[in-house]
Amino acid sequence: MKRLLFLFFALFALSASASTTQQKRLALYGVAFYNLENLFDTIHAPGKNDYDFLPEGSYAWDGLKYQSKLKNLSSVLAMLCTDRIKAGAAVIGVSEVENRQVLEDLVAQPELAGRGLRIIHHDTDDRRGVDCAFLYNPRFFTLERELYVPYIYPTADAPQENLGFRMVDHHVEPLPLYGDTTHITRGFLCAIGRMAEEPVCLIVNHWPSRGAESPARERAAMQVRCLVDALATEYGENMKFIVMGDLNDDPDNISLTKGIGCKFKASELKGNTDFFNPWYYTLRKQGQGTLLYNNRWNLFDQILISGNAVDPAYNLKSPQKVAELDLSKGLTFYQHAIFIRDFLFQQEGRYKGSPLRTHAGGTWLNGYSDHLPTQIYLVKQY
């Protein structure tokens, strides 16, 4: 009898332990961004300013250099988020790609071919001839809708709202390009779908450069803010947003703090579509950036997370372990990091310590990009 009672309690304990383990099963999802620095093919595209990237161009851009660039970039993309997730990132936003074909060539590289990555890309009228895009793994992100909204410059003749979209029966519809087209630049590419069985909208950006006036980036921020609010109205409060890209501004510039209204402290988040920006702490407190200019680090490559995916008690000064996070909101921000590896930096010479780019001073360096990638991790308890 005692033996039977012992077996009963042992089985009960094992059952309870298995149940607890099952209830606390966790899954990580990685999201990354990388400015690929002029990923051009070697063929002229009518209407595109790709003359430097032709065999007869200033960079003598030929098949050998193009293939080497693909190989280098694919090796980095394959490593993103693998510190914690063997399969890599669920979604990677990229910028400075010439067309869909260069993306097809990129995902076909041996480092990435086994991932089965899919592409989201829209040709744009950017005067430099470069676009933004997404690469995503369908195992971890299910695409339901893609949406491209053009960046609109204000003019006296443009519609009053000066936005690249309109609401039709609570549905966001992009508008054709209008307004001042003398400085056409990249718009906003949205990937709407499901990650961790939850609705997620990712928006990849490449805002006007520092060569443009500051209001151009503030205007981009305002348009992204309006787009997020419109999509939140269309899809409801459960939609989680991730805004990423080369914003050509640092986290504490007015475009981020006022235009989008980013918060540096999770405790200051007020609503579902308030945005948490962890990169301020990375740049100003840890001294890390993603590009080096005049011996000064900037952190233009950012990934922002909507408030409904952030634990309000999250502390950047002492990042929580997973067990310490409040996961009641479902998919929740866990960690962020600049992707740093020694081979991504110049090891000698005048620009020692700078990201190892493709060209510098007219010399082919056979590098990667003038930017470093950024990545975040999200966690879900099942």
Strand residue runs (E) in 159-233:
165-168, 171-174, 188-195, 198-206
The pLDDT of residue 371 is above 50: yes
Q: How confident is the model at residue 156 (pLDDT cuts 50, 70, 90)?
A: low
Q: Determine the Cα–Cα distance for residues 278 and 273; give it in Å rounded to an integer.
A: 15
Confidence band for 17, pLDDT divided at 50, 70 and 90: very low
Give the pLDDT of residue 2.
Answer: 45
Q: How far apart are CA 167 and CA 169, in angstroms?
A: 6
Q: In 3-state terms, what secondary structure has residue 323?
A: helix
DSSP class per residue in 280-300: HIIIIIT---SEEETTEEE--
* C-alpha span between 314 and 156 (Å, rounded): 45
Mean pLDDT of 86-101: 98
For residues 198 and 191, the answer to whether their CB atoms sit within 8 Å is no
pTM: 0.92
User: Residue 305 in 3-state DSSP?
Assistant: strand
Give residues with Cβ within 8 angstroms of 294, minimum separation 6. Answer: none
Residue 335 corresponds to which tokens in the numbers above? 């960690």
Identify the pLDDT of residue 20: 41
Distance CA 134, CA 284 (A): 29
DSSP character for 175? P
Structural domains of the chain, ranges and CATH numbers in brackets: 26-381 (3.60.10.10)
Q: Assess whether pLDDT exceeds 90 at residue 212.
A: no
Question: What integer best gives the mean pLDDT of the chain?
Answer: 91
With a CB cutoff of 8 Å and minimum separation 6, the contacts of 98 are 39, 40, 41, 45, 48, 50, 53, 129, 130, 131
Helix H or strand E segment including 381:
strand 374-381
Q: Model confidence at 47, in pLDDT bands (50, 70, 90)?
A: confident
What pLDDT band is residue 351 in, cutting at 50, 70 and 90?
confident
The rounded distance, in Å, linking the Cα atoms of 130 and 132 is 7
Indicate the range of 51-65, 99-113, 212-226 predicted with least confidence.
Answer: 212-226
Would you state the pLDDT for residue 23? 57
β-strand 91-97 against 301-306: which pairing, if any? unpaired
Q: Which two tokens stand for residue 338?
A: 């600049």
- State percent of the chain over pLDDT 90: 82
| 200-223 average pLDDT score | 92
Confidence tier at 349 by pLDDT (50, 70, 90)? confident
pLDDT tens, position by position, 272-308? 999 999 999 999 999 999 999 989 999 999 999 999 9
Lowest mean pLDDT segment, chosen from 76-85, 127-136, 173-182, 252-261: 173-182
> Closest Cα partner for 148 from 202, 87, 105?
202
How confident is the model at residue 161, as a pLDDT? 66
| Residue 21 predicted with pLDDT over 60 | no
Burial of 305 (0-12, 13-18, 19+ CB in 10 A): buried
Reference 253, options 209, 293, 300, 212; nearest CA is 300
Q: How far apart are CA 308 and CA 276, in angstroms?
A: 10
**Cβ–Cβ < 8 Å for 211, 192:** no
Element (H, E) at 214: helix 214-235
d(CA 283, CA 121) in angstroms, rounded, equals: 30
**pLDDT confidence bin for 13, thresholds 50/70/90:** very low
- Taking alpha carbons only, the member of 338, 358, 333, 251 closest to residue 32 is 338
DSSP for residue 88: -
CA-nearest of 234, 239, 237 to 172 is 234
Confidence check: pLDDT of 3 > 80: no
The answer to whether 172 touches 234, Cβ cutoff 8 Å, is yes
| Cβ atoms of 307 and 354 closer than 8 Å | no
What does the pLDDT read at residue 7? 38
Burial group, residue 135, by CB count within 10 angstroms (0-12, 13-18, 19+): buried
Query: What is the reported pLDDT for 6?
Result: 40
pLDDT at 158: 60
Residue 241 has pLDDT above 90, yes or no: yes
